[in-house]
Chains A and B, each alone.
Chain A
């Protein structure tokens, strides 16, 4: 996303009529072009974010709460359930992102050379780029539940005798099913980006390293990997932010305790007890804050990579 070519100001239209006040006219044009999108994002996105923030501070004039306080934050940060949820959510996002990134780099290396049937393989590889997460989650459930397809295959192979003997891979406290689903979905996402970099760079640098005496691993570690890292980092930031805040996958595949943070926030918000609302909003703010941290890290990292 940071690879956009720089805009070229010298290519701007400069019709004679615009010369009178070219600068003013240009500013007008830019304003008119951008205004609708900015208004929509300010009203919906920023509006939603600010409303959530005010509510998280206990500001709710309709029911007579006109003061600001940090009660909601204090109560969630001292709540063991919330802490467990936070740690679990971080574990889900971090583990999924790391596994998906490593497997994506490996997949891209596998798919780089020309081979027969490459077009077909690449099509299957990119197939679940567009397949909705929810479908993947349902598929993982039907594969890895106690009576799922993998459990049946294990029974058929004589490894287990009953569904109960199958290891808990969904609804489990380690969120294995959720991580499998994210890895499944994000390998092609990161992989397609890495593959594009590999193909545009070519194998020349690697060949040079090899001819200078580097072995395959050294050539990969010191030549290829640094070349693809900027792409991997920018893609994995998006993946981390998404997996930290995604709702439907842990909602379907998660354990009853601890719950992933987005599920906990949603359930507190829809709770009949209105007193839980500020806490739900505070959790939403924690999710927003974590993803903002990710954007900052992304900006910092991408700038560092561009410099070097």
Chain B
């Protein structure tokens, strides 16, 4: 990639084309950053009435309310993270073995299995969550934390499985055979040979599974039935009534996403399987 990019510097480019490129890039970045800007400004504004372009008075009110332990925002954020962590753990536990089967083996019915796993990624959550709600009412899982965790598995588990299937497709089982023939047991082989080889893939997949769960809105709204509060639900309730709080909550809501991107950006070239599922966040 670096080689291909470096080669292009040798091509002669006229000055106006270079300027045009920078105008284009600046416009693109401005468009991509624009929606985030008012969120930051609102979060520190006190008085910001039309037609003032910037707030006439600033205050830390929204931020002190957000971090005030009596206001439950911290609790809700923690709740959201806890749900996402449990969902991610289940996705790893079930998705890594399934990814191994899909990445390493050819078998009858493989196409059918791949379809089955791809379907929840393509079919929108709303189309299935109404039916799931009916099932969960009968099973006593509606309006409960376990119910919300289960329904978050619908988008995250297939995603994790596909990422791991991509990882295992480029994985060489000969190392495992060598370890076994040198006397390592099954568990030791998995721990010392398999895990280190697939670890980067697991980490990237897990971070994105976390973000997918962290961002869920309608699945939590319907299955949680107001009994399970998460950050996106809280943010929504403040959008119209208090833009300052909504701005501060948005910033909190973005933080893990930015963190994940910082940690994983070098794995995020478009040909990696990790990108495939994040159109859904």
Contact = CB atoms under 8 A, between A and B. Distances in A.
Interface residues of B, number: 115
Nearest to A119: B265
A239 B24 CA distance: 24
A169 interface: no
Given A4-B169, A36-B97, A140-B35, A27 B107 contact: yes
Interface string B246-260: 110010011001101
A238 B270 contact: no
A38 B118 CA distance: 12
Interface string A125-149: 1111111111110111111000111
Nearest to A183: B31
B241 interface: no
A4 B124 contact: no
B104 A143 contact: no
A187 interface: yes
B151 interface: yes
Interface string B119-134: 1111111111111111
A1 B276 contact: yes
A98 interface: no
Interface string B155-198: 00110011001100110111011001000000000000000000
Contact of B124 (A11, A36, A115, A241): A241
A153 B170 CA distance: 52
Interface string A36-58: 11101110111111111101000
A3 B270 CA distance: 11
A45 B155 CA distance: 9
A248 interface: yes
B76 interface: no
A152 interface: yes
Given A113-B9, A242-B280, A49 B131 contact: yes
A55 B117 contact: no
A182 to B, nearest CB: 10
B172 A11 contact: yes
A168 interface: no
Contacts of A270: 222
A294 B122 CA distance: 8
Interface string A171-206: 000000000010010111100111111011111000
A200 B215 contact: no
Nearest to A299: B115
A266 interface: yes
Given A1-B273, A15-B180, A156-B53, A126 B265 contact: yes
A241 B101 CA distance: 27
B135 A48 contact: yes
A165 B170 CA distance: 58
Contacts of B211: 130, 132
Given A15-B180, A51-B132, A38 B29 contact: no
B1 interface: yes
B140 interface: no
B60 interface: no
A5 B33 CA distance: 36
> Which 3 A-B pairs give the minimum distances between C-beta atoms?
A245-B124, A139-B35, A196-B270
13 contacts: A9-B106, A12-B105, A44-B150, A52-B127, A121-B25, A121-B29, A125-B28, A130-B281, A135-B35, A135-B253, A149-B41, A152-B51, A239-B279
Interface of A: 1, 3-9, 11-15, 26-27, 29-30, 32-34, 36-38, 40-42, 44-53, 55, 106-107, 110-115, 118, 121, 123-136, 138-143, 147-149, 151-153, 155-156, 163, 181, 184, 186-189, 192-197, 199-203, 207, 231, 235, 237-239, 241-242, 244-248, 251-252, 262, 265-266, 269-270, 280-281, 284-285, 287-288, 291-292, 294-295, 298
